[in-house]
Each structure stands twice: as C-alpha cells, then as structure tokens.
Amino acid sequence: MFDKILIANRGEIALRILRACKELGISTVAVHSTADADAMHVRLADESVCIGPPPSKDSYLNIPALLAACEITGADAVHPGYGFLSENARFAEILSDHNLHFIGPKAEHIRLMGDKIEAKKTAKRLGIPVVPGSDGAVTPDQDAMAIAKAIGFPVLVKAAAGGGGRGMKVAHTEADLQLALTTAANEAKSAFGDASVYLEKYLQKPRHIEIQVLGDGRGGAIHLGERDCSLQRRHQKVWEEGPSPVLDAAARAKIGNTVAKAMQELKYIGVGTIEFLYEDGEFYFIEMNTRIQVEHPVTEMITGIDLVLEQIRIAAGGDLPMTQDQVVINGHSIECRVNAENPVSFRPSPGKIQQYHPPGGLGVRIDSAVYQGYVIPPYYDSLVGKLIVHGKSRVECLMRLRRALDEMVVDGIETTLPLFRALVREPAIIDGDYHIHWLEQYLAGQKTD
C-alpha cells in the first residue's frame, strides 16, 4: 500500500479522496493555489503545499510544481481526482518516470479513450454497440456530405479531442453541414489544439446511461450497474440517478456484462465509466471516462462499494473487492449538483457563503468542501456541493430528496437549489420520463413531451 498520497485537485473531490486515504491509514498531502489557502482539503490534510497562483494552468495544471510538491513531502502516489490532470496520459507517464504512482489507468488506455475516434473504434472491436457514424475523421468536402447522407440527417459533428460538451454541432439538414463542420473544427482547434472532427447520427430523444466498471489490470473486471445522467444543460450533467428508471435487471446485466468483458480484454485497471446514449431499447457507446466521475456517489450508495478507496487499493496492486455475482444493487440513489449559479440565467455567482446548513438524516449525504464563511473563488468550477440521497425505492428516494432540498440552506450567493426544488416536484421527473433534451426544453418553457 502507498504511504503518502498527494491529492492533485481541489474542492469536494480533494476532500473525498482525503477521506478515503484516512480510512486506509494513508498520509495525505494537499496542494493548493494561493486562492485556496483556506480550503477545507488544505485544513484537513496532514501536509499542504502551495503550488502557484489562482489560474489553473499555473497551479492545479502545473506539472513541475506538482512534482516538486511530491519531492518535498516524499509522497509516493498521486491521486488526480476528476478534471485537471486526471485524463492527461503524459502526466501519468511523467509521474512514472519519477518513480511516482499515478492512481488511475495505464497511460495507453487514457490516451486511447481520450481520442474519441480511437475510443469508438476500440469499443466496436470489443463488441460494444456504437452510434452510427463516420469510421474516422472527416473533412468539410464531398466526403463528409456523402457520409452524412448515408447516416441520415440530423447528424452531429463531434471533436475527436472533445470534452465538456465543447466542439459539438448539430446539422439538421444538408445546408447546415458545412457550417457545423467548420464551427466544430474551429472550436476544437482552439479548445483542444486538435481540429479533427467526426460525424455521428444525432439521436432525437435518447437517455444518457453510463456503466461503472472496476478493473484489476490483470484481466479481471466487474461492472457496478448504471447511472442515468439524462438531465443535462449544455451537455453538462445536472442530476444523476441509479438505477435508471428505464432499465430492468436483464437489460442491466446484458449491457453490463458486454462492458465488463471488454474491460477484461483490455486489462483495464481502476475505475472507469462507459457512456452510452439509450434509445428504443438500444445502447450506443459515446465515450469512456478513465477516471473517477463527479457522480460516482450514486453507485456507492446503491452498491455499498467505496469507489475511491477501491481505486486506491487496486492501484497499489490489490484485487477486485468482489466477484460479479456478489454485486447487489440496493434501492435507489439520486445526486443533485448544486452550483453557485443563478437558477434561471445560470450566471456564476461566486462569493461568500453567509449561512450554511446542510441537510442530514438517514440516507442523506453531502459531498462538499464549503463551510459557513467560505468564499467561493471565481477561478474554478462553480460546484457548491453534491447532495446525494438514497432510499429503498425510487419513490422513497424522491420524497427524501424533496425534504433534504427543503432543509438545505446556502445563503450569501445564488445557487441552483431552487431549480432542484422545482424539478423534484415535476411530474415527468417523478415518472422518470425524461431524455437528454428534456431539461433544456423545460428551462425554455417549451412543451416537454
């Protein structure tokens, strides 16, 4: 096992990792920018190192500073959390060159899945169903038009290097295609330094359903069921739940086993998520995330498995915590990402939290790094915290979520709490009858059938 882990992240996920380390008896090193000197993860860690000024590129993405922090403190492993350097294959290699352990998958797998075109080809080869589309990158010439016509409009132009919903453009008709191709390529070039784009059939009312996997790197892999993340705004997840209201045990086992088998073949190590769109009973692979995800607590609540703890144990050479037969899905869980944003305009609302009262009681979990008097800095993402609830059934879970949301107080800044309080009372949400465009249509006040 590792002796000392450096947590190369901030906010709630840094705290989440720190908690797992403490329970494993591993010492922790927090790193922070000058803007985060008062952060909770810094206060609770055994040691802390300031790694630079507020902008992420000078601090949380500053690889030399992180290496120096490992050197100074004698850390033997680095947990990257999500975002920042978590899916940077080069970072994993550099750490390994310095005899430091990267808590995550092999660099080759991060690289493979980071290129969406390669990821899709690999998924197809491993027997995972994919969205119909171009076999590789396309250029804005006749070739793209011919492929788009073959797929059938509407088509989605996606960036090979895409992430966070950027570099994606829909072409509803032939006339839209050229513009969609050039805009997506330009956006991808400036955001990711890679202009390659590919085409996919644009699915009209799919759900976003993702499968959580855990691999031991030696050919063992299990799946831990699904999370339904269909409630999104600008391709960003807002509300996640598991199990999905539309899957039964047989459908879950079928897709789960397909994915687990693929991960066994890859000899994948650690936690990973295979994301699908789901429409008319069919799954279509869109991408794989090779890191712990924001919404991982949903799976923890319904399986009882501490994913971050297992991720660390497995990185240190440990075995999978259980066999596939031993995985039991218990009850229902929902996570709400409460952001420091205006609930109508979604304008960020950084600033000081004057009053803070987190909800509690059976089946209520808050993953957050804020406290009363904490100042949310303007430099990073706007997550205040995640409210996660668990219940024996989806109905119980919804009622518990309703009362937990009503109890929660975050004053001094604007938050998206009012949006969640409305959503939990919406008939379509209560019925579990929603798709990936539902939330945007709801927000636009349109008809949502």
Judged by CB under 6 A, does residue 361 bind ligand ADP?
no
Which is nearer to ligand ADP, 155 or 366 (by Cβ)? 155
Which of 165, 219, 304, 317 touches ligand ADP (CB under 6 A)? 165
163 vs 348, beta carbon nearer ligand ADP: 163
Q: Concatenated DSSP letters for 136-163? A: S-B-TTHHHHHHHHHH-SSEEEEEEEEE
Least gap, CB of 273 to ligand ADP (angstroms): 10
Smallest distance, ligand ADP to C-beta of residue 208, A: 4
Q: How far is the CB of 357 from ligand ADP (least distance, A)?
A: 33
Site string for ligand ADP, 169-208 (x = CB under 6 A): -------------------------------xxxx----x
Helix (H, G, I), strand (E, B) or coil at 337: strand
- Under rule CB under 6 A, residue 162 binds ligand ADP: yes
Q: Which of 207, 233, 291, 400 is catalytic?
A: 291
How many residues bind ligand ADP (CB under 6 A)? The answer is: 18
Read off the tokens for 350.
């950084």
Residue 278 has φ and ψ, to the nearest 5°, of: -130, 120
Backbone angles phi, psi at 284, to 5 degrees: -130, 115
Q: What is the DSSP letter of 348?
A: B
* Chain centroid, CA 321 distance in Å: 22
Shortest approach of ligand ADP to residue 149 CB, angstroms?
A: 17
Residue 156 as a binder of ligand ADP (CB under 6 A): the answer is yes
Decide if residue 110 touches ligand ADP (CB under 6 A): no
Q: Beta strands of 234-313 (E only): which ranges?
A: 236-242, 269-279, 282-289
402 is catalytic: no
Q: At what angle do helices 11-24 and 307-315 cross, to 10 degrees?
A: 60
> How big is the chain, counted in residues?
449
Burial class (CB in 10 A: 0-12, 13-18, 19+), 50: middle
CB of 204 to ligand ADP, least distance (A): 8
| Interface with ligand ADP in residues 209-228 (CB under 6 A) | none
CB 197 → ligand ADP: shortest distance, Å?
A: 12
The stretch among 107-115, 161-169, 364-372, 439-447 that binds ligand ADP (CB under 6 A) is 161-169
Work out which of 163, 350, 358, 432 binds ligand ADP, going by CB under 6 A.
Answer: 163
Counting contacts by CB under 6 A, is residue 348 touching ligand ADP? no
Place of tokens 């999978």: 320
Q: What angle do CA 145, 149, 151 make, to 5 degrees?
A: 115
Question: If residue 215 lies in a helix (H) or strand (E), which one and from where to where?
Answer: strand 207-216
Q: Identify whether the C-beta of residue 307 lies closer than 8 Å to the C-beta of residue 296.
A: yes
Q: Is 148 or 413 the residue whose CB approaches ligand ADP more closely? A: 148
| Residue 425 Cα to chain centre, angstroms | 25
Q: Does 164 bind ligand ADP (CB under 6 A)?
A: yes
The string over 306-341, giving b where at least 16 C-beta atoms fall within 10 Å of a residue's C-beta and e elsewhere, is: bbbbbbbbbbbeeebbbeeeebebebbbbbbbbbbb
Smallest distance from the beta carbon of 388 to ligand ADP, in angstroms?
20
277 lies in the site for ligand ADP, by CB under 6 A = yes
Q: Please tell me whether residue 8 binds ligand ADP under the rule CB under 6 A.
A: no
Q: Which is nearer to ligand ADP, 69 or 157 (CB)?
A: 157
Using the minimum distance from each CB to ligand ADP, give the nearer residue, 15 or 128: 128
Order of strands across the sheet that contains 155-163: 166-171, 155-163, 197-201
Contact, 231 vs 443, CB < 8 A?
Answer: no
Alpha carbon of residue 323 to chain centroid: 25
Between 369 and 436, CB nearer to ligand ADP: 436
Q: Residues 405 to 444: which contact ligand ADP by CB under 6 A? A: 436
Which residues are catalytically annotated? Answer: 291
Footprint on this chain of ligand ADP (rule: CB under 6 A): 131, 156, 162-165, 200-203, 208, 232, 235, 275, 277, 286-287, 436
